[in-house]
């Protein structure tokens, strides 16, 4: 058997996708102009698929902070924190994030993926139980492959499904660690966190929540779902990323556990990778200040969510279950999704296309992520374009047909 034979099915699916003429997984941004615009295929394109929720990638104060840090401390750290030591700024960033959540400890990772991979696989060890939501992000699934713990999935956003699995464990020894996400990345739906926390308390389980897509977006101070549902104190571990709302790259985990720092010498995803460069640390620290100082960005983001979500809903599109900074548009099958995606790109709008096996329940989606600095005009235009393409593809009923049917 050849090395790539096992991927035969995937190769075939990928070939199908590429027959449309564009490869959605190798899109090239010829030039990025702003948080909401780039040149793609030679044309100015509206970006509605980049997780840039607050538009901070071009925030002048964040950019200046990064440039200054490069001048002061160079372009990179060339090694891990345990080998090359921590820069003062790494330590300061960790202190600031811990303070942001009102937690005692924080560890910063080089990516959000590594934060989940490292923390989750290390927290639950041999003899422990890891209970994960069925729609968990790839980084959580990959952590499950690395852990020695027994892993059980529960139904997406279903506290009673979690409860059944905790109950079945009975009085078996071993820690129970439950992994949840604030906002799920494909459909933009939130976990019923309060109900989950109640179940976890009842069975003495630890709660780890990944706020990757909810940092900035949810809660009075933008701390995420743990804040908006009032359960920060009941979340033992909060994980997040710098690569979305904070406009850079990196991940973190905060906790009140007094022994938390032992993870610095046990989590291999932290120990054996180079630490974040000074420019990233500086821009993230500044971005966190912006998030705290400008709550209006959160308001703008949600206004934009309403414009796109309600606009598409009114036209008859099938969407994710609730308003969220991610709006998932359901399409009937993979090829329709790819074709629709391509037609949108031709019309100057970039979104993500998500098809099985990357999606829950085998659905095919256009995944739109909103930005606080999108204008209402841009989003109204997007709804119009999508409605037109939707009729063309037979996803939405044709105008005339609808009129005739109404008679």
Catalog residues that contact another protein under the rule CB under 8 A: 134, 144, 150-155, 161, 164-165, 168-170, 172, 356-357, 360-362
User: How many angstroms separate the Cα of 237 from the Cα of each of 103, 125, 255, 276, 345?
Assistant: 9, 16, 5, 21, 39
Q: Is the dihedral of CA 343, 323, 51, 362 positive or negative?
A: negative
What minimum distance in Å lies between the beta carbon of 138 and another protein? 12
Bridge pairing between strands 43-47 and 105-109: unpaired
Least separation in angstroms between CB 223 and another protein: 31
Which residues, listed in sequence order, are joined to residue 399 by a DSSP beta bridge? none
Query: In this structure, what token pair is assigned to residue 101?
Result: 């959540």
- The residue (of 154 and 270) whose beta carbon lies closer to another protein is 154
The CB-of-68 to another protein minimum distance in angstroms stands at: 46
Cβ of residue 172: shortest distance to another protein, in angstroms?
6
Of 169 and 274, nearer to another protein (C-beta) is 169
- CB burial of 106-125 (b: ≥16 within 10 Å; e: otherwise) equals bbbbbbbbbbbbbbbbbbbe
Q: Which of 257, 214, 288 is nearest to 103 (CA)?
A: 257
**Residue 49 or residue 360: which is nearer to another protein going by CB?**
360
Question: In the bound complex, what is the minimum distance in angstroms from residue 363's beta carbon to another protein?
Answer: 11
Pick between residue 162 and residue 383 the one whose CB is nearest to another protein: 162
Q: Which residue spans within 97-233 are E strands per DSSP?
A: 105-109, 129-133, 150-154, 176-181, 206-210
Q: Residue 151 CB, nearest distance to another protein (Å)?
A: 4
68 versus 150: smaller Cβ distance to another protein: 150
CB 133, CB 116: distance < 8 Å: no
Cβ neighbours, 10 Å, residue 385: 17
Residue among 151 and 183 whose Cβ is closer to another protein: 151
């Amino acid at each position: 058997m050849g090395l790539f034979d096992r991927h035969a099915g995937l190769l075939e699916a990928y070939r199908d996708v590429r027959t449309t003429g564009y490869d959605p997984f190798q899109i090239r941004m010829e030039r990025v102009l702003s948080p909401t615009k780039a040149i793609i295929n030679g044309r100015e394109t509206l970006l509605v698929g980049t997780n840039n929720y607050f538009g901070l990638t071009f925030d002048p104060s964040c950019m200046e902070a990064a440039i200054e840090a490069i001048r002061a401390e160079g372009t990179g750290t060339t090694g891990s924190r345990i080998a090359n030591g921590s820069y003062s700024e790494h330590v300061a960033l960790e202190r600031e994030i811990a303070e942001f959540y009102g937690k005692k400890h924080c560890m910063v990772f080089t990516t959000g993926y590594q934060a989940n991979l490292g923390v989750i696989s290390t927290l639950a060890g041999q003899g422990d139980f890891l209970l994960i939501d069925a729609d968990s992000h790839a980084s959580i699934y990959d952590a499950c492959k690395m852990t020695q713990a027994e892993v059980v999935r529960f139904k997406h956003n279903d506290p009673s499904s979690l409860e059944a699995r905790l109950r079945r464990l009975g009085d078996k020894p071993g820690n129970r660690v439950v992994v949840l996400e604030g906002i799920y990345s494909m459909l933009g739906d939130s976990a019923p966190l309060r109900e989950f926390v109640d179940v976890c308390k009842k069975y003495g389980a630890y709660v780890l929540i990944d706020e990757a897509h909810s940092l900035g977006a949810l809660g009075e101070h933008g701390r995420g779902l743990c804040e908006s549902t009032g359960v920060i104190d009941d979340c033992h571990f909060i994980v997040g990323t710098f690569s979305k709302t904070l406009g850079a790259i990196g991940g973190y985990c905060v906790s009140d556990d007094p022994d938390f720092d032992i993870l610095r010498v046990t989590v291999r995803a932290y120990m054996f990778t180079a630490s974040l460069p000074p420019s990233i640390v500086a821009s993230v620290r500044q971005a966190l200040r912006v998030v705290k100082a400008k709550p209006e960005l959160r308001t703008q983001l949600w206004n934009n969510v309403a414009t796109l979500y309600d606009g598409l809903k009114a036209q008859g599109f099938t969407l994710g279950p609730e308003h969220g900074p991610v709006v998932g548009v359901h399409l009937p099958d993979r090829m329709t999704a790819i074709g629709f995606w391509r037609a949108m790109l031709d019309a100057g709008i970039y979104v993500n296309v998500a098809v099985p096996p990357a999606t829950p329940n085998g659905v095919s989606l256009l995944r739109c992520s909103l930005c606080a600095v999108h204008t209402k005009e841009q989003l109204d235009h997007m709804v119009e374009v999508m409605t037109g393409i939707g009729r063309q593809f037979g996803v939405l009923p044709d105008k005339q047909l609808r009129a005739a049917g109404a008679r």
